[in-house]
A and B are shown apart, each in its own frame.
Chain A
Amino acid sequence: MFRVRRGTLGEEGRELFGLSRRCTRMESVLSDARILGDSVSDPAIFSSLYERHLGAVASYVARRTGPELSEDLTAEVFVRAFRKRAVFRDDHGSALPWLLGIANNLIADHRRAERRRLRMLQRVAAARPVSPETSVGALAPELVGELLRLPAADRDTLLLVVWGELSYAEAATALGVPIGTIRSRIARARQRLVAAIAQPFGSEEPIVNGESHA
């Protein structure tokens, strides 16, 4: 199952329809770089950039940190992006991966909020199956528990793709690592999540700091 959000397709959707995200976004592709470039001499232009990406950044940040912090952090993402606008280099890409990369760095500073959010998800999922039509719905608490135990880099990567809706290539841009690294991190994370919901035992194990290294 996949969902289509904000006119862009999820990873699976793009694969399904044989589309690359680039096609769906050709217009933003050219103009993000131009907006950022022009905003160096005319800072007011920068507003076009956040008008375009505000929703996507805000959703991602809200999913990762919960609603309390998300407005603060989203505003901060754009402030930082503004300060760095002179040096956005990716002439052909959307600025969104770059923005989510900045968001990730900010979230890294709020690990506690992130843990709070994930524990909340864990409790909510335990109280009511999120998705009755999915057979694994009942196993959501184990899933979130395992997510908490993933190494931070793997979790960051996985969530950029799942909640940030970036392609692997975009996630690579956002994190500044090769695409192969993204693939291996996602594969590793997926494997652990699958194992967690296949064997929902040992979930009593205390969560130390959400950064255990397997």
Chain B
Amino acid sequence: MPDRDQPLDLLRELGDVGATPPRLEALHARVSSAIAEEIERESRPRRGGLSGSSPGRSTSGRLGGARRRPGFTRLAGGLVPAVGVLVVALVVGVFLGLRGSGPTSTTPSHSSVAPSHGSVELVYLAEPTPQSPTVTRGALDRTVQTMQARLRALGIGPTHVSVSGPNEITVILPNVRSTAEAEREVGTTAQLSFYDWEANVMTSNGKTVASQLQSQDPTALTISQGAGGNSAPGNPGSGSMGLYQAVELAAKQRGWLSSANSRIGPQYWMFGAPGSAACAAAARAQGVAPVAGQHCLLSGPDDNLTDLRSGLPSGVSASEVQILSVPGGWVVLQAIPANFSHPTPIGAPNAQFFVLKDNIALRGSDITNPQQTKDPNTGAPDVTFGFSSKGKKAFQNVTAQIARRGSLVSRLGQSLNQHFAVTLDNQLITVPFIDYKQYPDGINGDNGGDISGSFTTTSAQDLANELRLGAAPLNLKLICEGAPATTPCL
């Protein structure tokens, strides 16, 4: 038996075999130039920030003040009383609540516990979107600027946002208490999208509602006009379906690719069969009772199978599951929650869904300057935004198209007003109608839009910030939470 220190001594010697001593001068020059590049890069987007080189120019402050006012007055005075279609009833907490609702929402790949003090590092993988199909340096830089603007707007102390790899963005937040807090402050991209509702939502036979309205198909009519009573379009019960049924329907469709899609490529879901051991184990792991006779969501939705599998609850074997893949060009959207402060989790047995063709009319990047304001009449906090010139045109077009269809499908004495849907990520937020008699040519987007409801100033501010980040050209996926001093991310 060798001496217990022999192996380490031997190893120590082996270490220098074939590891030629580094050429320090050359290496030094190399590191110097790399750091010089970093210094240069850092000083560029940061404009008068930490470096303190331009004391008189606080650009961020001026932007906020100068542009804000005119936009605000026009928005508030114009759209709300005139149209009233964009008024969305929202309650505090909905946006925060929605984000974490999926069983495998943003799971960090190697999560490490951050110390209770000190700084937190978050590394995001920037993923392409249909508008930015490749992750370019320009798109990364714009995303970094958007994130910096958001963090500045939140008044968080010194932070450090930088491009840290070919498709990575690193955010460092000193002085936060936990990774959870840091994650909340940085936020994730909340994609706001507008869809023509009837033209894209499907009945269970795989046809769009719009294509079946002229024949006055009863299911199509329910989805378009609601089920009466409290069941307005987009609400649970107005032609909605259970999750498994919805995903199964969407998975049967043929994928199609367009810059109007909200995502690139398929979306994966993992289900267990009714009464299966997998569902029982998953229910146990989640501390809930399994529901008889229903498929259960085990993991997902995810954009890749690796993440999907890693979201499998403990105690569930991968052999007894069913994976469904929704092709690109189709989305499964959760029905408007009955109660925005307690949205139904996506995997809950009573959660309801709609399947839509993923043909976005207008997206987060088409809105400008989202901000928290106050309703001029009631003084309640709300969120107003303008449309970009592209957004104005798109809004006018889609509302005109919706109005035309309304007049086309309505029979004598009937008024089948048609709708558009506003979604945030995979959640329907509201499905307002366009009065085709009042606005036969659609609604002019000059006055922007307004989202109001039971906001507090803070929650309205959060939403505005979230929408601002939603305008980032790339999607961000959290891949590492670390503490730079002790457990740095890669």
Q: Spell out A's residues near B (CB within 8 Å).
A: 1-3, 10, 12, 40-41, 43-44, 46-47, 50-51, 54-55, 58-59, 62-63, 66-67, 70-71, 74-76, 78-80, 82-84, 86-90, 98, 101-102, 105-106, 108-109, 117, 120-121, 124-125, 130-131, 134-137, 139-140, 143-144, 147, 158, 162-163, 173, 175-176, 190, 193-194, 196-198
Distance between Cα atoms of A44 and B35 in the complex (Å): 9
Of B20, B50, B485, most A-chain CB atoms within 10 Å: B485
Distance between Cα atoms of A7 and B26 in the complex (Å): 23
**9 closest Cβ pairs, A-B complex:** A176-B487, A58-B22, A176-B486, A193-B7, A87-B119, A89-B485, A62-B19, A63-B15, A105-B490
B35 touches A79 (CB 8 A): yes
Distance between Cα atoms of A102 and B158 in the complex (Å): 22
A193 touches B11 (CB 8 A): yes
Q: Report which of B5, B28, B42, B52 forms a contact with A54, defined as CB distance below 8 A.
A: B28
Q: How far is the CB of B262 from chain A (nearest CB, A)?
A: 31
Known: A71-B30, A80-B164. A175 touches B487 (CB 8 A): yes
Q: Mark B30-73, 1 if CB is under 8 A from A, else 0.
A: 11101100110010000000111000000000000000000000
Interface residues of A, dominant DSSP: helix
Distance between Cα atoms of A130 and B28 in the complex (Å): 31
A193 touches B8 (CB 8 A): yes
Q: A3-B12, A83-B162, A131-B13 are in contact. List 5 more A-B contacts (CB 8 A).
A: A2-B9, A54-B31, A101-B487, A158-B11, A194-B4
CB-based nearest A residue for B112: A176
Q: Report which of A89, A136, A173 forms a contact with B6, defined as CB distance below 8 A.
A: A136
Distance between Cα atoms of A101 and B482 in the complex (Å): 12
B172 touches A86 (CB 8 A): yes
Count A-B pairs with CB separation below 8 Å: 190
Which chain B residues border A130 with CB–CB below 8 Å? Answer: 10, 13-14, 17
Distance between Cα atoms of A121 and B14 in the complex (Å): 7
Q: How far is the CB of B54 from chain A (nearest CB, A)?
A: 14
Distance between Cα atoms of A73 and B146 in the complex (Å): 30
CB-based nearest B residue for A89: B485
Which chain B residues border A106 with CB–CB below 8 Å? Answer: 490
Known: A41-B50, A70-B22, A162-B11. A51 touches B28 (CB 8 A): yes
Is B288 interfacial (CB-CB < 8 Å)? no
Distance between Cα atoms of A54 and B38 in the complex (Å): 17
Q: How far is the CB of A1 from chain B (nearest CB, A)?
A: 5
Q: How far is the CB of B315 from chain A (nearest CB, A)?
A: 20
Q: How far is the CB of B38 from chain A (nearest CB, A)?
A: 5
Which chain B residues border A124 with CB–CB below 8 Å? Answer: 17-18
A79 touches B17 (CB 8 A): no
B52 touches A41 (CB 8 A): yes
Known: A87-B485, A131-B10. A190 touches B16 (CB 8 A): no
Distance between Cα atoms of A70 and B27 in the complex (Å): 10
A71 touches B9 (CB 8 A): no
Which chain A residues border B16 with CB–CB below 8 Å? Answer: 63
Q: How far is the CB of A151 from chain B (nearest CB, A)?
A: 15
Distance between Cα atoms of A66 and B18 in the complex (Å): 7
